[in-house]
Homo-oligomer: A and B are copies of this chain.
Amino acid sequence: MLDKIEIALLSALENDARLSFAELGDKVGLSKTPCWSRVRDLEKRGIINGYRAELDPAAIGLNIHAFVQVTLESAKHVEFEAVVQRHPSIVRCFATAGDGDYLLQVLVSTIADLDRLLRVEISRLPGVDRISTTVCVKTVKHRTSIIDCMR
């Protein structure tokens, strides 16, 4: 599925997406031509989804980071997901098996913002029965490369 060179390419690009193909080639032991074509191939196969600048939330004033477990009372999944998609403070949303139907990851500036988000924006969403919030007090680990999970 993935050979050693592809894994090396992915690992390098997960650490620094702005590497030039010459630098990339040095890291994986390839000249820039095959290096370029293999990266292009990884993009076409949907393995590389894009290249993103990683920002520090706290550095731009997003000091509150929380997880919200949502339980729906009724089959309002479509409406609920639509609202979630368009809400700017909801960074991620996962449908889950276990307690709760959804897990939301939210990012806001102040506790007042969090309060408003939870009590007036999420709780009143169509079909929401119960929410349970967990505030993140420290980021212990933030792995930048998921390719290491494969070993």
Contacts and interface: CB of A to CB of B under 8 A. Distances in A.
Contacts of A85: 140-141
Interface residues of A, number: 70
Given A96-B134, A133-B98, A140-B94, A146 B62 contact: yes
Given A54-B52, A143-B90, A144-B50, A60 B137 contact: no
A128 B24 CA distance: 41
Interface of A: 1-2, 10, 13-18, 45-57, 59-62, 65, 67, 69, 81, 84-85, 88-100, 102-103, 107-109, 132-151
A75 to B, nearest CB: 15
A109 B14 CA distance: 19
A61 B134 contact: no
B51 A52 contact: yes
A1 B49 contact: no
